[in-house]
A and B are shown apart, each in its own frame.
Chain A
Amino acid sequence: MSSGDLRNLLRRDARADRVVPPTGYTAHLTFFVSGAMAFLAVFALALSLASGRIADRWASELAGAATLRINAPVEQFAAQTEAALTVLSQTPGVASARALTAEEQAALLSPWFGPDLPLDTLPIPQLIEIVEGDPGLDAAGLRLRLGAEVPGAVLDDHTRWREPLVDAAMSLRRLGWVSILLIGGATAAMITLAANASLAANAQIIEVLRQVGARDRFIAGAFVRRFTYRAFFGSAVGTLLGMTGVLLLPEASNTGGFLTGVGFQGGGWALPILIPVLGATVAFFATWTAARRKLKELS
């Protein structure tokens, strides 16, 4: 189908469009299904974009840091910490390294053990915070060197924390896109059914049109335009309602965690505008295919 054919098919012709009776349950069905699917697509899109943002944030935040834990007898604690800091200061890819203070370590533990934990009476390992710089930390090489010079040191480059979290966020993002594809497929299936029902209900009209010399393109065009515009307006209403729903969701916050981060940011708010266009495109091809098939059957 050329672009000229496409333009001709979609160009509204009030007289030609009147050959298909304007009423019928398929009109309401198409409008409702397109609206409902567009509404769901807005949320799937919001979920997908939010998951993508979280995956990127977790990946970048955790990737730039590492932690060194010193597990040593009390009498070697200071010496091993000093030795570890020396090793780190000589290691390429380490921008900075510092031992956490007793207060900082107590603050990290207080969510689990409470604020009154007597740290000085417990064998708490010393933590060293490492901030990565260029050209990036060679964790395997650093482990080997620490193993030789600081036997009580355990390097945690956050890989085992980061990867599952990033994987989970990426999976959610994929799930969002798969949902959008499924929504598109379901919309196409429903519109195909509605178009088939409408074509069957109007078989007599099709016969009359053929008898007076109408080509299949003319007849199919009347149905295609009807369903495409219904799907477009249904999707537009559904998208508007969906965007309003997303707008009313709580804003992202640290205390709210992931659930409050679902939504659009910046230019992301423009993306849902594509949903009615995609809905109309799906309806166009679904109806065109159904009409061509039905007209062939009826000939």
Chain B
Amino acid sequence: MGARVIELENVSYTYGGGELLSDVSVQLQPGSFHFLTGPSGAGKTTLLKLCYGALLPTSGRLSAFDQDISLLDRDQMALLRRRIGVVHQDCQFLDHMTLGENVALPLMVSGRAESAEQDNLTELLSWVGLGPRLEARPPELSGGERQRAALARALILSPDVVLADEPTGNVDWEMSQRLLRLLIELNRMGKTVLIATHDLSLIRAAKSQVQARVLRISQRRLQLAGADL
């Protein structure tokens, strides 16, 4: 792994004539823990999407694992995404598949034999507390279970980076603390973690447990948040 897993240099993103992000520069070092905060609609999700290549910068340079993302073809982009685990607020499951199948989806698309990874899958689901829910369908899961399942899916390929977009947006305080503990535990395993959230209490709770850098998006620009958090 290079010195930076993800690096944005003067990145701007424009959509429909309006600039959503302007001149953003940030580096995510290996094993670092970041929070990305800002009001709703500030561009947190857009920045995350840029980080895993779902969107391409309008200007500036964005590299992941020392590769310029705008120079990658679709196959190379797919390989890159296998190194970045993403947890969405709405989880994005395939409702016609079981929880186990959804979590194993990255194994399937990367051509790895699910049977060979069965122990890994079982262990991961147990780690997030979903061992007995393997055969459940996503609509049968609670908000917290869905978020933990999304986290398990993001981790099944053992990615270098985990990006989480409002992972505690739909869960109660207790569950949000449980999810936070899982993410901190991941970071202690050496994973780079970036969590987008508008929940400042979550950030305060995390700061007592992990050395986290807090980035704030305000007026389309990114800045390092101060000690007021």
Choose the segment among B3-11, B17-25, B73-81, B184-192 that binds chain A (4+ C-beta atoms closer than 8 Å): B73-81
Write the B52-70 contact mask toward A (1 if CB under 8 angstroms, else 0).
1010000000000000000
The answer to whether B114 touches A213 (Cβ under 8 A) is: no
The answer to whether B109 touches A214 (Cβ under 8 A) is: yes
A19-B97, A215-B75 known; A209+B109 contact, CB < 8 A: yes
The answer to whether A211 touches B97 (Cβ under 8 A) is: no
With the chains together, A216 CA to B75 CA distance in Å?
Answer: 7
Query: Which residues on the A side are within 8 Å of B79 (C-beta)?
Result: 213
Residue total for B at the interface (Cβ-Cβ under 8 A): 23
Q: Does A21 contact B (CB under 8 A)?
A: yes
With the chains together, A216 CA to B52 CA distance in Å?
Answer: 17
Q: Does B92 contact A (CB under 8 A)?
A: yes
Q: Does B143 contact A (CB under 8 A)?
A: no
Picked from B97, B101, B153, the residue with its CB within 8 Å of the CB of A212 is B153
Write the B107-137 contact mask toward A (1 if CB under 8 angstroms, else 0).
0111000100000000000000000000000
With the chains together, A209 CA to B78 CA distance in Å?
Answer: 10
Picked from A16, A18, A205, A214, the residue with its CB within 8 Å of the CB of B78 is A214
Query: Which residues on the A side are within 8 Å of B109 (C-beta)?
Result: 209, 212-215, 218
30 A-B pairs whose Cβ atoms sit less than 8 Å apart in the complex: A15-B101, A15-B114, A18-B96, A18-B97, A18-B101, A19-B94, A19-B97, A19-B105, A21-B96, A204-B92, A205-B94, A207-B92, A208-B92, A208-B94, A210-B54, A210-B81, A211-B52, A212-B81, A212-B105, A212-B153, A213-B78, A213-B79, A213-B82, A213-B110, A214-B78, A215-B75, A215-B109, A216-B74, A217-B75, A218-B109
Query: Which residues on the B side are within 8 Å of A19 (C-beta)?
Result: 94, 97, 105, 108
Majority SS of interface residues in chain A?
A: helix
Given contact pairs A209-B109, A213-B109, a sample of 5 additional A-B residue pairs in the complex whose CB atoms are under 8 Å apart? A15-B101, A209-B105, A212-B81, A213-B106, A213-B110
Select from chain B the residue with minimum beta-carbon distance to A216: B74
Query: Which residues on the B side are within 8 Å of A15 (C-beta)?
Result: 101, 108, 114
Picked from A207, A208, A211, A299, the residue with its CB within 8 Å of the CB of B74 is A299
Select from chain A the residue with minimum beta-carbon distance to B85: A212
Query: Which residues on the A side are within 8 Å of B157 (C-beta)?
Result: 213
Min Cβ gap A206→B in Å is 11
Query: Which residues on the A side are within 8 Å of B86 (C-beta)?
Result: 211
From A21, A210, A213, A214, residue with most partner B Cβ within 10 Å: A213
With the chains together, A5 CA to B54 CA distance in Å?
Answer: 27
With the chains together, A16 CA to B113 CA distance in Å?
Answer: 11
Query: Which residues on the B side are within 8 Å of A22 (C-beta)?
Result: 96
Query: Which residues on the B side are within 8 Å of A299 (C-beta)?
Result: 74
With the chains together, A217 CA to B86 CA distance in Å?
Answer: 22
Number of A-B contacts (CB under 8 A): 58
Write the A260-299 contact mask toward B (1 if CB under 8 angstroms, else 0).
0000000000000000000000000000000000010001
Min Cβ gap B205→A in Å is 28
With the chains together, A209 CA to B86 CA distance in Å?
Answer: 12
With the chains together, A191 CA to B81 CA distance in Å?
Answer: 32
Query: Which residues on the A side are within 8 Å of B75 (C-beta)?
Result: 215-217
Write the A185-213 contact mask toward B (1 if CB under 8 angstroms, else 0).
00000000000000000001101111111
Min Cβ gap B120→A in Å is 15
With the chains together, A18 CA to B97 CA distance in Å?
Answer: 8
The answer to whether B108 touches A215 (Cβ under 8 A) is: no
The answer to whether A215 touches B74 (Cβ under 8 A) is: yes
Min Cβ gap B107→A in Å is 9
Write the B156-172 contact mask toward A (1 if CB under 8 angstroms, else 0).
01000000000000000
With the chains together, A19 CA to B109 CA distance in Å?
Answer: 10
Query: Which residues on the B side are within 8 Å of A217 (C-beta)?
Result: 75
The answer to whether A210 touches B92 (Cβ under 8 A) is: no
Min Cβ gap B117→A in Å is 12
Min Cβ gap B101→A in Å is 7
Min Cβ gap A203→B in Å is 12
Select from chain B the residue with minimum beta-carbon distance to A208: B92
With the chains together, A22 CA to B95 CA distance in Å?
Answer: 12
With the chains together, A18 CA to B157 CA distance in Å?
Answer: 20
From B54, B74, B157, residue with most partner A Cβ within 10 Å: B74
Select from chain A the residue with minimum beta-carbon distance to B82: A213
3 A-B pairs with least C-beta separation: A213-B82, A214-B109, A212-B106
Select from chain B the residue with minimum beta-carbon distance to A299: B74
From B74, B96, B109, B110, residue with most partner A Cβ within 10 Å: B109
With the chains together, A218 CA to B79 CA distance in Å?
Answer: 13
Min Cβ gap B218→A in Å is 27
Min Cβ gap B177→A in Å is 27
Min Cβ gap A16→B in Å is 6
The answer to whether B78 touches A215 (Cβ under 8 A) is: yes
Select from chain B the residue with minimum beta-carbon distance to A19: B94
